[in-house]
Structure 1
């Protein structure tokens, strides 16, 4: 967990964004529901449509009430998620076709679905059965979509940064964990290359920083704070360094051209009583600067001018999560009031 005794200055200046959220179509939110006090889905969808500029939403299941609520909202694209527990079954085509018929086809095309995320951070589970059936499930679902004449929906799976070797620093040295590069990631990336689907990752500078790197994690470094000794590239934030480490790992096995989607990233606005580096100012700084950075179109040092579709975690605070910090990743409270302002409301002015 983070810790810092130094409170970075002028966080609230972050709240005035230089770009309107509506111009940044590639930033979305994760809509989690691990709570007992959230408004019903139809109210959530109406709020997103009428009060915010959010147009990409990722959910962690295929909740029919949520899918139905987004019906007709074709300006909002959805990512739906299959639980890890279903991966083994869906590795068989008949089951994948049945799942598609039961869970998605009734809502198409009036509900706009862009991605199916097969599981979440499967490699991090170290479950060999899950890991070996992950790609077959992705292949089966892709074929099931084709056989159902469904176009426009791509299949992927989100990965934690634990997929990288511990030596993936500096960013140019990024590589997949030993034994996973050829056995796991070469075939997965070949699948993405063939299907033109993105490689999804969940970078969290929040988990990767300490007192001495807090400003670096929050995009608050005005000058470069790290120079990659191999590429001589300057890094002013940890988000870029993490993405470039992933890119280096992908390029190392021949798949540097596969698109990257940031499926989750965020920062909690509250934590345990003794937890430092967590609070409203920190969360506003990270997510506000993240939006500006992604919107800028600058990309990263190793991927200049590349745009990364990025999903902030999360839409709401979720009161049934297991820790105070996990309960406080939301941009909004359950009554739709902002926890802090990062410029995503339609009333925000430039």
Structure 2
């Protein structure tokens, strides 16, 4: 028999690499937020088994340290993030308090349950609580020291932020942290992240910053883009603009090397009647884009080739959440574990029913712009609360954030109506902020307005904001296996040509 031809070898090599290429999107860490504000949700053990055996989801973010939920993920191979309640922060800033917390909430479960990160509180900078803000970085430091002392050095420590931490969010090159907090809180926090190789976590939500004219930009569909005069870059993705805004603020303080992670981001599949841009079509479109971004390793214009540890909001539609219709419809799955829509996360190829045709934008069909949500006033309250929360003792010499910078609805989202009781989720209402009517250029840089009330099921979680996916930096453990598509194609072509 004649030996195979060189062309045959080349074809075989290309076939193998095409198979790898098709599988590549799922080598990245795909995380979800697991909220529990529903009276019809399956038990934690069933959820953990479903995720491990039926889906490609390999990371889960919990909004507390519920023992049943943490224990359910033991031996599943799924890494989880647990959350220390806002009210725990003052105690965590003390050695005894941190030792006690680790003994009760980590030691009984780790390493059987792969606890990869502890989130200290949820969107603390938005609470206006000076005691929590002043103790946040000390609590992070002390908790990390006690985790190391207890023999758990691999567990990272971080805290999620809404985009309300930015006083300027667009264009991305002009972005900066709020005055008074930049040097007093964020500089030492970023130094902690650098020293411990942990991610700075943000919650970007293009959903809370779009309107009828900017829907394509928010969903990263083909669009003219929004220019940044400072860099000459034209952004065609609000999510990337939001991440670059956070990066610019970090870089201005000298911490551009610290990795970023996306703690929450998502898009609802249902909202108020007449709201443009919300259906299973748009929700699937946004989350497919998000998964692709997390998998490709292409980064953003200002952070090329970075990968971001990203957690989609959310796992389930939660029928007991307060607020507008959208708040209860951010889920990837129904309570019976069937997909709300298909984004390719099921191992067995199970898909939801076909999504309806894409909704036309307001300019295409004359439809009304996204409803401003009856919570629009909460967005203003959130800004006011953050402005009033200027660092107390720790920033005695630092000026308080100018009310003018943070009073506008842009940069923050609707705030929760109240702090939940310990252990309760605070999945707050998510609705397009008042900034939703801003022109494209404004919505562009990812008006941190998105900060709009993301649910932080965490205790005391306060106003959530539109969040942008928090990428886990280039060194993110979540992206250890990610291989950029361009690299795969280059290798395939190179081998094929040399056969």
Show structure 1 runs of 5+ residues with no match: 1-17
- CA shift for structure 1 position 62: 0.7
**Which residue does the alignment assign to 1:131?**
133
**Which residue does the alignment assign to 1:299?**
299
Would the aligned equivalents of 1:267 and 1:329 in 2 still touch at CA under 8 Å?
Answer: yes
| Separation (CA, whole Å) in 1 of partners of 2:83 and 2:279 | 29
1:35 matches 2:46 = no
**Which residue does the alignment assign to 1:183?**
184
**Which residue does the alignment assign to 1:15?**
none
What per-residue deviation string (whole Å, max 9, x for no partner) do you get for residues 283-307 of structure 1? 1111111111221211000000000
**Which residue does the alignment assign to 2:482?**
none
1:271 matches 2:271 = yes
Would the aligned equivalents of 2:83 and 2:118 in 1 still touch at CA under 8 Å?
Answer: yes
Question: What SS does structure 2 have at the residue aligned with 1:184?
Answer: helix
Question: What SS does structure 1 have at the residue aligned with 2:133?
Answer: helix
Aligned with residue 107 of structure 1, among 106, 109, 115: 109
What per-residue deviation string (whole Å, max 9, x for no partner) do you get for residues 202-247 of structure 1? 00000111111111001112x5512211111121100000000000
Would the aligned equivalents of 2:248 and 2:256 in 1 still touch at CA under 8 Å?
Answer: yes
| Separation (CA, whole Å) in 2 of partners of 1:274 and 1:22 | 34
Would the aligned equivalents of 1:297 and 1:306 in 2 still touch at CA under 8 Å?
Answer: yes
Question: What SS does structure 2 have at the residue aligned with 1:343?
Answer: coil
| Separation (CA, whole Å) in 1 of partners of 2:234 and 2:224 | 6
What per-residue deviation string (whole Å, max 9, x for no partner) do you get for residues 18-63 of structure 1? 8547633222111111111110011001100111011011110111
**Which residue does the alignment assign to 1:311?**
311
Aligned length: 329
Question: What SS does structure 1 have at the residue aligned with 2:190?
Answer: helix
- CA shift for structure 1 position 124: 1.1
**Which residue does the alignment assign to 2:408?**
none
What per-residue deviation string (whole Å, max 9, x for no partner) do you get for residues 250-277 of structure 1? 0000000000000000011111234333
**Which residue does the alignment assign to 1:160?**
162
Q: Which moved more, 1:224-233 or 1:271-280?
A: 271-280
| Separation (CA, whole Å) in 1 of partners of 2:27 and 2:272 | 33
Q: Which moved more, 1:287-296 or 1:32-41?
A: 287-296
- CA shift for structure 1 position 129: 1.3
**Which residue does the alignment assign to 2:216?**
215
Question: What SS does structure 2 have at the residue aligned with 1:316?
Answer: coil
Sort the Cα spacing of 1:337 and 1:70 in 2 relative to 1 into closer, same or farther, 3 A.
same
Show structure 2 runs of 5+ residues with no match: 1-20, 351-499
Would the aligned equivalents of 1:116 and 1:153 in 2 still touch at CA under 8 Å?
Answer: yes
| Separation (CA, whole Å) in 2 of partners of 1:126 and 1:210 | 29
Question: What SS does structure 1 have at the residue aligned with 2:202?
Answer: strand
Sort the Cα spacing of 1:92 and 1:19 in 2 relative to 1 into closer, same or farther, 3 A.
farther
Q: Which moved more, 1:265-274 or 1:296-305?
A: 265-274
Map 1:1-350 to 2 at 5 A.
Answer: 20=23, 23-73=26-76, 75-165=77-167, 167-221=168-222, 223-323=223-323, 324-348=325-349
- CA shift for structure 1 position 330: 0.3
Question: What SS does structure 1 have at the residue aligned with 2:257?
Answer: coil
| Separation (CA, whole Å) in 2 of partners of 1:281 and 1:197 | 35
- CA shift for structure 1 position 136: 1.1
| Separation (CA, whole Å) in 2 of partners of 1:96 and 1:90 | 5
Q: Which consecutive segments of 4 or more residues in structure 1 shift more than 3 A? A: 18-22
The RMSD of aligned alpha carbons is: 1.5
| Separation (CA, whole Å) in 1 of partners of 2:336 and 2:26 | 26
| Separation (CA, whole Å) in 2 of partners of 1:290 and 1:297 | 12
| Separation (CA, whole Å) in 2 of partners of 1:26 and 1:337 | 21
Question: What SS does structure 2 have at the residue aligned with 1:311?
Answer: strand
Would the aligned equivalents of 2:30 and 2:56 in 1 still touch at CA under 8 Å?
Answer: no
Would the aligned equivalents of 1:244 and 1:300 in 2 still touch at CA under 8 Å?
Answer: yes
- CA shift for structure 1 position 168: 2.1
Query: What TM-score results when the alignment is normalised by the length of structure 2?
Result: 0.64
| Separation (CA, whole Å) in 1 of partners of 2:38 and 2:90 | 28
Would the aligned equivalents of 1:199 and 1:259 in 2 still touch at CA under 8 Å?
Answer: yes
Sort the Cα spacing of 1:28 and 1:173 in 2 relative to 1 into closer, same or farther, 3 A.
same
